[in-house]
Amino acid sequence: MLSEIVLIGFYLVILLYTIIIHEVSHGMVALWLGDQTAKYAGRLNLSPVRHIDPWGSIAVPLLMLVMTGFKFAFGWAKPVPYNPYNLKNQRWGPALVAFAGPGINILIALTFAIAAKLVSLPAALKIDIIRNFDNWSEVSSVIAGSAASIFFEICIIIIFWNALLAFFNLIPIPPLDGSKVLFSIFPIKTETMIMLEQFGFILLLFFIILFSGPLGAFLNFVLGIFFSIAV
């Protein structure tokens, strides 16, 4: 039971810092491109206190964990502020800032997939851990007493959250990062952009409800690519 609680703790901490690193990356790229808004707001650090959104970082993830038997959750941090008019590159700057979050998550997922690949474990055991990585009672017994197996499990959790957050955020619907990338590639009228951003969250909810099947299949496909690297 204690091992299961520890694993769930790792699961939550990794989720929290995956979100924080995602947000900080937006601010770091904005700073690199000339905007110091996030720096002056004290948001270019990894302190949870600076980034936690009471609703998105605590309430929603905990509610989802309880509803899914501690197998899945999602959440968000307070967005890192930036002023697009301060960016040196007005054409592509907003797209680069928007892609910074998903980009760092993809890089982290790939890095830990390679690290997991280098772990000296039988392929069959790695596959068993991947299949049961969020089945706490099952995986805790599989990895018990093996430092290599425990490290591999942690790598898989890191891959899971980073790949999931990256590719979900690339959906081109406000307020997700993919919409800002899309708006930079295909400029639209300011009035249209404002309207889409005002109703973006509602559109996103409808999209998730109506296309949950294809969305789930796509995210599972992406996760499968990273997990295959890890084996």
Which range marks the domain in which residue 49 is found? 2-230
Pick from 48-52, 184-188, 193-197 the range whose average pLDDT is largest. 48-52
Structural domain count of the chain: 1
Residue 71 pLDDT > 70, yes or no? no
Rounded alpha-carbon distances, angstroms, from residue 84 to 19, 96, 176: 22, 11, 16
User: Is 170:176 a contact under the CB 8 Å cutoff?
Assistant: yes
What would the pLDDT profile of 159-176 be if each residue is shown by its tens digit?
999 999 999 999 988 888
Place of tokens 């491109």: 33
What would the pLDDT profile of 132-169 be if each residue is shown by its tens digit?
998 988 999 999 889 999 999 999 999 999 999 999 99
Q: Which of 2-11, 19-28, 161-170 has the lowest mean pLDDT?
A: 2-11
Q: What is the DSSP letter of 80?
A: P
Q: Distance (Å, rounded) from C-alpha 176 to C-alpha 174?
A: 5
> What is the reported pLDDT for 70?
66
Amino acid at 182: L
Q: Distance (Å, rounded) from C-alpha 134 to C-alpha 157?
A: 8
Residue 72 pLDDT > 70, yes or no? no
Of residues 93 and 192, more confidence is placed in 93
What would the pLDDT profile of 79-110 be if each residue is shown by its tens digit?
888 898 999 988 889 999 999 999 999 999 99
Question: pTM, whole model, 2 decimals?
Answer: 0.91
